[in-house]
Structure 1
Amino acid sequence: MTQLRSLFLAAASFGTILSAQGAFAQGFTVTGSYGSRDLLGGFPSDGSSDEAEVQLSYAGQGPRLGYNLAVTVGDDDDSVDFDDSFVEAYAGGFAFGLGAVDRNWSPSRFSSLILSDNADPIPSAYVVKRQYTAFDTPWLSWIGPWKGEFFVGQTDSDGNPDNTKLMGMRLQLQPVDGFEIDLVRTAQWGGDGRSESLKTFLDVLTGDTNEGEASEANQLAGIGLSWTLPEEIAPLRLYAQAVGEDESGGLPSCFMYLAGVEGVGTAFGLPTTVTLEGATTEISDSENGFCGPGTAYNNNAYPGGYTHHEDVMGMPMDTDSRMAQLIIEHQLARFALDWSVGYYEINTTNRPDHRLSSTEVDGTILRVGASQSWGDTTLRGGVAWQSFDLDNDDIDAGMGVSFSVSRTF
């Protein structure tokens, strides 16, 4: 407790110093949460895992600087982390930051084949442009409105070299209103015993990884598309994502896929959003005999896989799996209700070394979540039921509950 008190006294002093640089909005938030069990993909509304946690955070936002200094303490004596913490500087429409922040690189609001919030946030240095704008210069204005992100972070998983690096780059284009193109790429590289020289970094950055010290890099790349139909046609958005686990002729190959449709309207007098989506991480053999079963999120250079803290950084269902889910959300000013039903087929190739299950399993996950706000206090809760066991991940079939309460001062 002495360490936590010292940390937040330092945070308050830091905020005072920054606020002197200009107008700042600041707030101190306390959040307590509890989840009764683990669940594939987490609980609705608050994402709680199977433990009690308390998070203290101190956030500030100004025209040139922003920060969130957070520490989370779990009921395990060793469970202390600084996830969700960051410090950012703003200039020219860009944010330059250091921190451990969640990312969901996908046209879907719920799922990503390449980078999702399934794993813990990755500590990283990053540059991000969060708003669509076009270049002013005539040489580049033809690109149209765009935004994007580049980061270099560090992951930690059993089976991978300590301090394995992860590089990510994303470019989102909006050539016409309502239509978005999402280009994404990540690469695992470096780590203890591996080259992290400037040349290796540049080779990984440019994709020159067929030979030399950068040849051990594990790359994923793909494209996402999102089309919001004109209102006079239908209140729908269609989206899809394809991510390749290999490279052929300088382009991604050996693909896994995600697609969905999202509609907005009114149900029972409530503003409602309905999403239906499906995905597969099954990858077929290529014409040259590459890829095939077990390809997604696995590679020889990093035996622990495409993971952080042993959790896949893409789809929670991991390799050789498929799913379809229906998600319905009702949103009012201070109250939200969401519920979903999903069908999953895990480890369709019966691989005993699959990270989730030693055999093929299938079944259903039902989730119901709600949140209610009263001024600066928000209460969230969820109930979920999973019909199948995941023996390699120690997740049993059954029902669980979660709740959290947060207060901002």
Structure 2
Amino acid sequence: MKKTLITLLILSASISKAEPWIDTRDAWLRADIELLANEGVIKSPITTWPLPWAPIIKDLEGASRAELDEHILPVFLRVKRKARLETDTETYKRISLKAGNQSKLLRHFGDDRREKAEISSRVTGVSKNFAWNLEATKAFDPLDGEEQRLDHSYVATIWGNWIISAGTQERWYGPGWDTSLLLSNNARPVPGVSLQRNYSDAFETPWLSWIGPWSLNAFAGQLESDRFIPHAKLLGMSVTFKPFESLDIGLRRTAQWGGEGRPESLSSLVDLAIGRTNCDQIEDGCDDRLSGNEAGNQLAGIDFNWRLPTESYMGSLYGQLVGEDEAGYAPSRKFYQLGYKTNFHISDFAVTGYFEYADTENEYAPNVTYEHGIYQTGYRTKGRSIGSTFDSDTQSLSLGLLATHKNGDRYKLRFAKIDLNSDGTGNHTINETAVSFNQIELKYQHPTKYGLLGIELDVKDKLIDSFGYQQDKYNIGISWTMEL
């Protein structure tokens, strides 16, 4: 990692200005961006996070303020101010304090705190040649035992229309709000390098121009040593495009590959890339999988976000389908997510609402999702699922509302009903037995001249953790973030 960072700094000396990303920690900013996308202001794909500012800024600058509805204008100006602040060629220093009565076991898009208490300081900047975020966190009583962290830190530079970066960034693949089945912010970010398209302009050739604006994101990271296959690699690739202004489509793949005692040759990587990992496709079959040449553990998925084709805006349908295996070059052994979301205004509030269902119990059998015969720690890192926040064999139904007042006050209300680990067996990271529970979550943030103050309350009607991490049915937390 250190050598990679130095290489990127050297390369940046001859490369044009880079813009930083919008990360996964601001649900209300995401709601504003989705509202502007629904109104046709933002035209680039917005279902892969971190999301580059560059195409968002381009779309904002191309919009006519005179043509915006009076209810849309405050949202437009709010996002534009945020973009100007984040991409200004200055250095910003921030400090944040977050604390609660216990750690957060279930995380959703926009959640920031992980542990019982955290103190973070960060330096973020954009220069003529590159962007960076150096963020150090002291965690108190962490679940994984790591008190000092550099999560969310990165350095990035641009080569043509490609962003090259290295760091530990949270990633989110897909349109879901409550969870993402393939890649979410549930587990701590995996350190690695990434390549991402900056601007999402459509192809000029008529053969490919029909796919519309498109983006590509690929990354390679290394998982921890304390697992069944130490130092396995986590690979991912995502292509999103908009063949119609109303439709986002995402094609995604992730894989665990290599590690101690596993093949890491170029041919093994090629086998993984073309999906040649089934027992009948490899020379020595699967009689002894641990000693064989099976390339790795791969997952693949497709997702969509479709604005309903009504004369006046009536919301969007979205969904995600993920397969644990491949058959006929398509995902098999599948699990899925479906949802509906909409944007509306009440007085001086911009509101986003969503209704979401997800089922991580595999169509093939229980205890298949996020499991593998070779990578027996599963699709997990440091005790948390890399995919769904609820891990495997779980059905979740949630209703969420996010509201932003024109004065900057922000609110979130969420109800959920969860059937966790419904078959009651397996290597589940939250509960070893089946448990059904109801949940209500409230959040409020208020900007002041002393920084952004926040309070949150999460209440469940049952204790859901069989490992002793959670002692209370409620989780109350406070936060404070200030620029220095």
User: Same fold by TM-score, threshold 0.5 exceeded?
Assistant: yes
Alignment-derived partner of residue 187 in structure 1:
255
**2:217 aligned with 1:149:** yes
Moved more, 183-192 or 199-208: 199-208
Structure 2 gap segments, 5+ residues each: 1-8, 18-87, 284-291
Shift of residue 351, structure 1, vs aligned partner: 0.6
Alignment-derived partner of residue 273 in structure 2:
205
1:330 to 403, 412, 418: 403
Distance 1:283 1:273 in 2: 30
- With normalisation by structure 2, the TM-score equals 0.75
Query: One-letter code of the match for 2:483?
Result: T
Shift of residue 233, structure 1, vs aligned partner: 3.4
**Conserved in 1, the CA contact under 8 Å of 2:353 and 2:402?**
yes
Alignment of 1:16-31 (within 5 A): 24-31=89-96
Query: One-letter code of the match for 1:181?
Result: I
- Count of aligned pairs: 389
Distance 1:184 1:101 in 2: 18
Distance 1:387 1:119 in 2: 24
**Cα deviation per residue 1:266-306 (whole Å; 9 max; x = unaligned)?**
23652211110010011123xxxxxx110111111111110
Structure 2 CA distance for partners of 1:221 and 1:78, relative to 1, 3 Å: closer
Distance 1:192 1:222 in 2: 27
Alignment of 1:387-406 (within 5 A): 387-388=461-462, 389-392=464-467, 394-406=469-481
**2:446 aligned with 1:367:** no
- With normalisation by structure 1, the TM-score equals 0.88
**2:242 aligned with 1:174:** yes
Moved more, 335-344 or 383-392: 383-392
Alignment-derived partner of residue 173 in structure 2:
105
Shift of residue 220, structure 1, vs aligned partner: 0.5
SS at match of 2:273: helix
**Cα deviation per residue 1:112-136 (whole Å; 9 max; x = unaligned)?**
1000000001111101125431123
Identity score, percent: 28
1:295 to 356, 360, 368: 368
Distance 2:91 2:425 in 1: 50
Structure 2 CA distance for partners of 1:163 and 1:91, relative to 1, 3 Å: same
Query: One-letter code of the match for 1:399?
Result: Y
Moved more, 207-216 or 97-106: 207-216
Alignment of 1:248-267 (within 5 A): 248-267=327-346
Distance 1:121 1:407 in 2: 24
Shift of residue 143, structure 1, vs aligned partner: 3.2
Structure 2 CA distance for partners of 1:110 and 1:130, relative to 1, 3 Å: farther
Distance 1:232 1:332 in 2: 27
2:359 to 270, 280, 288: 280
Alignment of 1:303-342 (within 5 A): 303-333=376-406, 334-342=408-416
**2:137 aligned with 1:72:** yes
Distance 2:108 2:236 in 1: 27
Query: One-letter code of the match for 1:391?
Result: S
**Conserved in 1, the CA contact under 8 Å of 2:115 and 2:139?**
no
SS at match of 1:202: helix
Report the structure, 1 or 2, having the larger helix content.
2
**Cα deviation per residue 1:72-112 (whole Å; 9 max; x = unaligned)?**
11235850011000011123332110011111101123321
Report the structure, 1 or 2, having the larger strand content.
1
SS at match of 1:185: strand
Runs of at least 4 residues off by over 4 Å: 43-46
**2:112 aligned with 1:47:** yes
Distance 1:352 1:166 in 2: 22
Structure 2 CA distance for partners of 1:367 and 1:86, relative to 1, 3 Å: same
1:87 to 137, 155, 169: 155
**Conserved in 1, the CA contact under 8 Å of 2:108 and 2:177?**
no
Distance 2:335 2:164 in 1: 32
Distance 1:314 1:278 in 2: 15
Query: One-letter code of the match for 1:81?
Result: R
**Cα deviation per residue 1:337-365 (whole Å; 9 max; x = unaligned)?**
00101000011112164322222110111
Shift of residue 139, structure 1, vs aligned partner: 4.8
**Conserved in 2, the CA contact under 8 Å of 1:356 and 1:393?**
no
Moved more, 154-163 or 144-153: 154-163
**Conserved in 2, the CA contact under 8 Å of 1:24 and 1:60?**
yes
* RMSD between aligned residues: 2.6
Shift of residue 228, structure 1, vs aligned partner: 1.4
Distance 2:125 2:450 in 1: 16
Structure 2 CA distance for partners of 1:353 and 1:392, relative to 1, 3 Å: farther
Moved more, 195-204 or 308-317: 195-204
**2:460 aligned with 1:386:** yes
SS at match of 2:175: coil
Structure 1 gap segments, 5+ residues each: 1-13, 286-291
**Conserved in 2, the CA contact under 8 Å of 1:59 and 1:69?**
yes
Shift of residue 376, structure 1, vs aligned partner: 7.0
Distance 1:222 1:316 in 2: 17
Structure 2 CA distance for partners of 1:157 and 1:397, relative to 1, 3 Å: farther
Structure 2 CA distance for partners of 1:158 and 1:392, relative to 1, 3 Å: farther
**2:304 aligned with 1:225:** yes
